[in-house]
Amino acid sequence: MSSKFVRAIFPGSFDPITNGHLDVIQRGVKLFDELIVAVGRSPLKDQLFAPAERVEMIAELVRDIQDVSVESFEGLTVEYAATKKADVILRGLRSLTDVRYEFELAMTNRSVAGIETVFVMTTEQYGFISSTLIRQIASLGGNISNLVPANVYKRLQQRLRTSRDQQ
């Protein structure tokens, strides 16, 4: 039987990384030989963490997961994928709402660059978590400690304390 080395990238904003993203990484790494978590550097209007901080938090989390690394990139995902010689784009699915958007994205990426997208579905308990929701709940003082990894929780607390002190 022939075997092929498959490298995947998992692109996203990860502002910040959540337990849902981490679940996708843990499932994805079982499917591929190498997985690169790719933090998009495109300017987000309501960004909470700078790309370098997002990369740092992810690096702390994947340090002990073999064959997973993290970097940031700018510009088109398909161009970044080509630079990395990636065979596959990995994305996560939470709901049917995600499917509609992701379907269009995957079709576009395949037609412009010929790259396949592979989807994994999250654990049901993380199906409602989004980075946007995390940013909103945290800024209103809600408890998100079981929705994000501990290092992210700590940084969120610090960030919110700093912005409160500045007001």
Q: Would you name the residues annotated as active-site residues?
A: 21, 45, 94, 131
CB nearer to ligand ADP: give 42 or 166: 42
CB nearer to ligand ADP: give 73 or 87: 73
At 93, give phi and psi (nearest 5°).
-120, 135
Least Å distance, CB 161 to ligand ADP, is 24
Least Å distance, CB 150 to ligand ADP, is 17
Run of H or E including 159: helix 150-166
Alpha carbon distance 58, 39 (integer Å): 9
CB nearer to ligand ADP: give 74 or 161: 74
Task: Indicate the burial class of 121 (C-beta count within 10 angstroms; 0-12, 13-18, 19 or more).
Answer: middle
Least Å distance, CB 4 to ligand ADP, is 24
Contacting residues toward ligand ADP, per CB under 6 A: 12-14, 18, 20-21, 24, 91-92, 94, 98, 122, 126, 129-131
Alpha carbon distance 57, 13 (integer Å): 13
